[in-house]
Every structure is written in C-alpha cells, then in structure tokens.
Amino acid sequence: KNEVEQSPQNLTAQEGEFITINCSYSVGISALHWLQQHPGGGIVSLFMLSSGKKKHGRLIATINIQEKHSSLHITASHPRDSAVYICAVSSGSRLTFGEGTQLTVNP
Amino acid sequence: KAGVTQTPRYLIKTRGQQVTLSCSPISGHRSVSWYQQTPGQGLQFLFEYFSETQRNKGNFPGRFSGRQFSNSRSEMNVSTLELGDSALYLCASSFTSRAGQTNSPLHFGNGTRLTVT
C-alpha cells in the first residue's frame, strides 16, 4: 500500500462544476502539500497546510490530522483548471507523493 | 524575484555516460530538493540540501549524488547512466527557517528532461 493515496485517478467535469480530490496518508507528517502540474512539466505549489483549512481564490484545501486525510476543492471549475493535481506529504525534509489526479474540465 | 532556474532544459546521453544537472534557487532560499518523475513511478524524492549539507536522501542508488554550494546553488550528478534514468528531473527551493523541516512552500523549476539512449 502506498504511503499517500489519491482519489480519483482521473476526473472529467463540466465547466462550472464543484470538484473534490481526496488524499489519504499513512505516515506521520509535518505538512501536506497540494501541487498542480500542467502539460510540459511545470509544477506549482497550491497549498501547504498542517491543520485546518486554506482558501485561495476558487481553491480550498482542508486537512484532518486525526483521520490522516486531506481534500482539495475547486469551485466553479474552468477549463484552465485542467491539469494533474498531486498531493505530497513532508516528513522532515523528505517528501512522499501521491500518484496524482488528472483533471479535465470541458467547456 | 527570479524563479528557480534549472539547466539544461533537455539532455540526451548514452548509457554509461555521466550527467550533471544544475539548479539555481530563489534568492534567499537555503533549501534545495531534487525529484525524479517518470511515467511508471511518478514523482520520487531524491535528496534535499540545506546550507550545503544533505539532510535527507531518498531510495536511489549511489550513482545519484548531489551537492550544494555556499550560494545555495545545487547540482545533481548521475554516473553510469542507465536507460531507466530517462526522466524529468525537478528541483525545488524553499525558505526553510527551521533546520530539519520543510515548513515553507516549495517553488519548483521547470525541470531537466533527460533521455538516455
């Protein structure tokens, strides 16, 4: 079993829909990161959180430390949100990554 | 502020050769970490440097090595290249105020795509 599990692996949505991507982990962590990767390889850090909830524009990330679970929500999805979303957990300075969720938002 | 710069962007090498990749972090960032991304294994942690010291290392053979200079720039080296080393190599920098913790957001470079033939 992987230390970081993401679901779903693939997600197709219509523009405007509310999207949720889930991440579960089985190890102790110092922080959890949500990353976005567009075709071509560039990775952008969306959130880093160790407790509670963070919001940035249409993106919301939550984490439940007791349940070892985090969710990334996208409200009013747009085709430009199409990308791979990756959950990663840090333990000290070491990162462990989930397999990623390929999101496609159709107009 | 300039972002994280990785050079070169693309590289083609032959099996058995060695390769050196470079990463210049954002000014003021003292932590630099390296990652390998392949279609089969996804993203994997290679190693992390803070103030010229390797603090953590992933599960890669000794052919993979790195170093960090006093200006925080980092290099990674892969010796005796194998076909399976073909991958996108990414580095990231962060402003880590406390030694031993990655408690600041990561800033990634655009990566070096290495092809081994």
| Average of per-residue pLDDT values in chain A | 94
**B-interface mutation test, from A93, A94, A97, most B Cβ less than 10 A away:** A93
Mutation target for B interface from A51, A95, A102: give the one with most B CBs within 10 A. Answer: A95
Q: Give the residue from B9, B4, B43, B40 showing the smallest Cα distance to B24.
A: B4
Does A93 contact B56 at a Cβ distance shorter than 8 Å? yes
A39 — pLDDT class (breaks 50, 70, 90): confident
Q: Which residues contact B30 (CB under 8 A, 6 or more apart)?
A: B50, B51, B72, B95, B96
| Whether B106 and A48 lie within 8 Å, measured CB to CB | yes
Q: Are A3 and A26 in contact (CB under 8 A)?
A: yes
Give the residue on B whose Cα is nearest the Cα of A41.
B110
Test A45 with B105 for CB contact under 8 angstroms: yes
Q: Could you tell me the pLDDT band of residue A40, with boundaries at 50, 70 and 90?
A: confident
pLDDT at A89: 94
Q: How far from each other are the two terminal CA atoms of chain B, in whole angstroms?
A: 37
Answer whether A27 touches B (CB < 8 Å): no
A41 has a pLDDT exceeding 80: no
pLDDT, tens digit only, all 117 positions of chain B: 679 999 999 999 999 999 999 999 999 999 999 999 998 889 999 999 998 999 999 999 999 999 999 999 999 999 999 999 999 999 999 987 655 555 678 999 999 999 999
The pLDDT value given to residue B47: 94
Strand partners, B68: B74
Contact A97 B42 (CB under 8 A): yes
Interface A-B, measured as beta-carbon pairs within 8 A, has a size of: 69
Beta carbons of B42 and A96 less than 8 Å apart: no
CB contact under 8 A, A92 and B102: yes
Provide the 3-class DSSP secondary structure of residue A67. Answer: coil
Chain A CB contacts of B113 under 8 Å are 41
pLDDT, tens only, A48-89: 999 999 999 999 999 999 999 999 999 999 999 999 999 999
- Does the beta-carbon distance from B96 to A93 stay under 8 Å? yes
How far is the C-alpha of A31 from the C-alpha of A70, rounded, in Å?
11
For residue A50, the chain B residue with the least C-alpha distance is: B103
CA B60 → CA A74, A77, A83, B44, distances in Å?
35, 38, 28, 9
Per-residue confidence (pLDDT) for residue A82, from 0 to 100: 96
Q: What is the pLDDT of residue A92?
A: 80
**For A92, which of B42, B88, B100 is closest by C-beta distance?**
B100
pLDDT at B60: 96
Q: Let me know how many helices (H) and strands (E) chain A has, helices first.
A: 0, 11
* Residues present in chain B in total: 117
